[in-house]
Chains A and B, each alone.
Chain A
Amino acid sequence: MSNGTMHKQPNLAVEIAGIKLRNPVMPASGTFGYGEEYTPYLDVETIGAIVTKGLSLKPKAGNPTPRIAETVSGMINAIGLQNIGIDAFITDKTEFLRRVNTPVIVNFFGNTREEYGEVARRLADVPDVAGVELNISCPNVKQGGIVFGTDPAAAAGVVSLVRKNLGSKPLIVKLTPNVTDITVIARAAEEAGADAISCINTLTGMAIDVKTRKPRIANRIGGLSGPAIRPVAVRMVHQVVQAVKIPVIGIGGIMTAMDALEFLIVGATAVQVGTANFIDPGVMADIVAGIERFCREEGIADIHELIGSLR
C-alpha cells in the first residue's frame, strides 16, 4: 500500500446530514422497492445507502394501468405512489433493513400538511431508520391541489412541521424540477430546517399513441426519468449547490459512473440512481467500482477532491 497514491484505495466515504455513507451511491426512491427486492442481484453492502419506496400514512393503491411507457432515452411513469403504508412498513419491512450494514433512508409523502407531520412522528423513534427523505412533489388536497414543492411557503410549511415531529433524525428534502426557479424552493426548504436537499424528481411529461390518439399511460401525464433528463438535472443540481449551504444529492438519469461524476463535480455530495436499476439490477455496484477506478486513474485519494471541483 505504500507504493504511491495511484495504487491506494481511494476514500469514497461521504456524510449527508450526519449519515455516514461508505460511498456516495444510493438508489432513487421508487426504483428499489423496500430494499429486499434486489438482494439476489446486488449486495446492498456495496452501496452507500438504501432509499425506500415512498410511504404514506395510509396504504395507497396506485394508478390504473398502463402505468409506464418507454420514450426516447427515458420512460414516463405514473405508478401512483402505490405503497403498503407507514405502519405496515415499520412492522414488516424493517426486520430486513436492520440486518444489513447499510444506512436506510425512508422516503415518504402526504397530501396534507398534517399527513406529512403524522408520518414524520411515526418515524421519529424507529431506530433502524438512519434518516428520511421528504417527497414534496405531491398535490396539497386542501389547497386546490397545488403541489407543495412548487410553492415556497407551502414547501416551508411542510418541512418545518416534519422537522419538528422528526426529533433528531436527519431530514432530506427532495425537490421537484417542475418549477420556474428551483433555487427559491431549495432555500425555503433549507430555512425551514432541511439538513440536505435531493434533486431532481421526475419531470412531468406526456406521450401519445398516434394510432389510438390516446395517452400512452392511463394517468395521461406522468413523470419522465432516465438519461433523457440528465442534462436538466445536472444544471439544476449546479444551481441548487450555489444557492444553499446544506449538502445536495444529485439525481437524474444516471446510468454509469461517468454520469454520476458529472453530478459530483458540480457539487453534489452523493447521487441517487433510479431508472438504471430497472435495466441492470447490479448497476449501482458497477457505478461505485467505476468511480473508484476513475479516482485511481486521476490520482484522487479522496472523493471530496472531486465534489464541487467544477472548473
Chain B
Amino acid sequence: MMKNYKTRILSNQEIAPDYYRMKILAPGFGQHARPGQFVMFRVQRSMPPLLRRPFGVFRTGFLPADCDGMPEKEYLEILYKVVGHGTAIMRELHSGDAVEVLGPLGRGFEPGDPQREKILVGGGIGLVPLFMLAEDRVKESPVRLLMGGRTRDDILVVTEFERLGVETYVSTDDGSLGEEGFVTQMLERKLRKYPDAEVYCCGPLPMISAVNTICAAQNVPLQVSLEALMACGVGACLGCVVKGAGHTEEHPRYLCTCKAGPVFHAAELDWHALGTPAADSCEGCKS
C-alpha cells in the first residue's frame, strides 16, 4: 500500500562527483515496492522547493540491529544526481534530517517470460530502477546489464549488480571506462547473440529512443521507464502526461507517467511524439 512516510534520513553519501545515494527509514516499505516504482520526495518543513521530486526506488533493505539492542531498521534507498535547485538542497541533508516520502507509486516492470534472457539497458542515473528488477529476475533468468555513460563518473554501482550474479558490460562516450561508444552498439551485439532476449531500459530519452528503434526492428519485447516533470505523482495534476500509441488531435490519448507508468511497454507509446528533444532533457526533469 502506498503511504506518506513522515520519516528521517539514515545516510546521504556522495558516490561519484554530483551523484549521491540516500537511505531513508521506511518501515514496511519493502513488502509493497515492486521493481520500477518510484517515490515523491519532500524535504520536510522546507520551502523552497515547493513541489516534491520524483525518484526511482533503487533498493529496499534492512540495516542490522545495533549493539545497543536497537532493532533492525528497514530502509528504502534512492540515487540522485545534483542537477538543479531541489537536488542541490538534498545534497546538504544529513542522517537524522526529517523528510517525507510518498510511495511506492506507479506501475513497475512486468517480469516477462522466465524462459528468456533479460537484457537491462541503463544510461547514467537511469540505472536506478533496474536494480530491483535485476534482483528479482536473476532468480529465474540469466540477466545482463548494459550500462552507458558520458564518462566513467556516470557509471554507478555496477559492482552491486555483479554481486547479484548479473553479467555487466560498461560503455562510455569518451572511453574512460569500459568500451568506447554508445550502449546501443553493445545492445545490437548482444541481441545478435541472444535474439530471444527481452529488454528493459531506463535512461536519457535519446538513448531510450535508440533502444526502441533497435528492439522494434527485431520484434524484441521492450519495457521502458520514463521520466517527466510532475507535481503530484498520483494522477491528479495531469502535468506528466505522454502521448500514447494512436494519439491524434481528434482522439487524444494522453497517459500519466506517474500512474499509467513510469514503466511502459514500448508498444503503448507514441514514439514519434516522444521524439528526441534536447540531449540533456532527462537530467533536467529531476531538478
Which residues of chain A have a CB within 8 Å of any CB of chain B? 30-33, 37-38, 40-41, 59, 61-62, 65-70, 72-75, 77, 79, 82, 212, 226-227, 275, 277-282
Find the B residue at minimum CB distance from A255. B47
Q: Does B195 contact A (CB under 8 A)?
A: no
Find the A residue at minimum CB distance from B250. A61
A28 to B270, CA, bound (A): 32
Given contacts A38-B234, A62-B252, A282-B4, contact A77 B239 (CB under 8 A): yes
Q: Which residues of A contact B50 (CB under 8 A)?
A: 70, 73-75, 226-227, 275, 279
Contact A67 B232 (CB under 8 A): no
Contact B48 A72 (CB under 8 A): yes
A66 to B241, CA, bound (A): 9
Contact A33 B235 (CB under 8 A): yes
A171 to B240, CA, bound (A): 32
A66 to B285, CA, bound (A): 10
Jot down 24 A-B pairs with beta carbons below 8 A, ordered by A.
A30-B237, A33-B236, A40-B1, A40-B234, A41-B234, A61-B249, A61-B254, A62-B238, A65-B239, A66-B229, A67-B241, A68-B231, A70-B51, A77-B231, A79-B239, A82-B241, A275-B50, A275-B231, A278-B231, A278-B236, A279-B42, A279-B50, A281-B4, A282-B4
Contact A67 B236 (CB under 8 A): no
- Write out, one digit per residue, whether chain B residues 215-237 have a CB within 8 A of any chain A CB (1) or not (0): 00000000000001111101111
Contact B235 A68 (CB under 8 A): no
Find the B residue at minimum CB distance from A82. B238
Q: Which residues of A contact B229 (CB under 8 A)?
A: 65-69
Contact A73 B254 (CB under 8 A): no
Q: Does B8 contact A (CB under 8 A)?
A: no
How many residue pairs between the two chains, A and B, have CB atoms under 8 Å in the bound complex? 95
Given contacts A61-B252, A65-B242, A70-B50, contact A37 B42 (CB under 8 A): no
Q: Does B52 contact A (CB under 8 A)?
A: yes
Q: Does B210 contact A (CB under 8 A)?
A: no
- Nearest-Cβ distance from residue A56 to partner chain B, whole angstroms: 13
Contact A62 B241 (CB under 8 A): yes
Which of B3, B51, B249 has the largest count of A CB atoms less than 10 A from its CB?
A: B51
- Nearest-Cβ distance from residue A219 to partner chain B, whole angstroms: 12
Find the A residue at minimum CB distance from B85. A70
- Nearest-Cβ distance from residue A16 to partner chain B, whole angstroms: 23
Q: Which residues of A contact B235 (CB under 8 A)?
A: 33, 37
A278 to B102, CA, bound (A): 11
Q: Which residues of B contact A280 (CB under 8 A)?
A: 4, 42, 100
Q: Which residues of A contact B237 (CB under 8 A)?
A: 30-31, 68, 77, 79, 278
Find the A residue at minimum CB distance from B228. A65
Within 8 A of A (CB), among B179-194: none
Which of A65, A66, A281 has the largest count of B CB atoms less than 10 A from its CB?
A: A65
A73 to B102, CA, bound (A): 21
Find the A residue at minimum CB distance from B1. A40
- Nearest-Cβ distance from residue B45 to partner chain A, whole angstroms: 11
